[in-house]
Structure 1
Amino acid sequence: MNYIIVGVLAGAGFLMWIVSIINQMRSDIARININLNKIAKQVGVPNTINDEIKSLLLEGKKIEAIKKYRIATGLGLKESKEYIDSLRK
């Protein structure tokens, strides 16, 4: 019986470890995207993703805009929704 409890606790610990790694990777991706956007702005690369997102918002396609932003940045749903909501203001 004790082996089952130990196994369950080990499995839960492993799952928590995986979740923390995924969260760290999301954070790293967000930081990298910020730096890439700064570099692109200095070099003069147009920010077409924002133009596409703004166009979707003007068409009333908020969910599609959130999906597009998530794909482009690798951010989670919450962060993407917050960004899209900030553009709408």
Structure 2
Amino acid sequence: MEINVMEILFFIAILWIMVIVWKINRRVTGIKHILDQLSKQYGVPENPINDELRKLISQGEAIKAEKIARKTLGLSMLEGMQYVDDLKKKGKNS
């Protein structure tokens, strides 16, 4: 079984891309944290859709809330799930 040079280069490129995506994800998470802090500090109002989403969550309609969040905010499925989970956590901490 001979490993081709192209296969090795392809594998290295995939690893390199994965590292870059991981770094970008960390940066975005940090920026999101900073934006959350700034919005609290300067009293920026919360997104109006959050009230409707919280109501759906309290009624046990988390999946419907995720769909509305995705459609309204232009989020991916994973981002919608995370957004609704964040609202759940904030609701429990209040």
Q: TM-score, normalised to structure 2's length?
A: 0.62
Indicate conservation of the 8 Å contact 2:66/2:80, yes or no: no
Long gaps (5+) in structure 1: none
Q: Shift of residue 81 of structure 1?
A: 3.6
Q: Within 5 A, what are the aligned runs for 1:74-89?
A: 77=78, 81=81, 84-85=84-85, 87=88
Q: 1:23 to 1:53 in 2, by over 3 A?
A: farther
Partners of 2:25 and 2:52 lie apart in 1 by: 23
Higher relative contact order (CA 8 A, sep 6+): 1
Greater shift, 6-15 or 54-63, is seen at 54-63
Structure 1 consecutive aligned stretches of length 4 or more whose deviation exceeds 4 Å: none
Q: How much identity, in percent, do the aligned residues show?
A: 28
C-alpha contact 2:69 2:80 (8 A) present in aligned 1? yes
- Return 5+ residue gaps in structure 2 as ranges: none
Q: 1:12 to 1:32 in 2, by over 3 A?
A: same
Q: For residue 66 of structure 2, what is the aligned residue in structure 1?
A: 63
Q: 2 CA distance for matches of 1:70 and 1:33?
A: 16
Rate the CA distance shift 1:41–1:47 in 2: closer, same or farther, 3 A.
same
Q: After superposition, where does 1:5-84 map in structure 2 within 5 Å?
A: 5-48=4-47, 50-58=50-58, 60=61, 61-64=64-67, 67=70, 71=75, 77=78, 81=81, 84=84
Write the letter of the residue equivalent to 2:8. Answer: L
From the superposition, tell whether residues 13 and 69 of structure 1 become closer, same or farther in structure 2 (CA, over 3 Å): farther
Q: Distance in 1 between matches of 2:28 and 2:6?
A: 33
Provide TM-score, normalisation by structure 1.
0.64
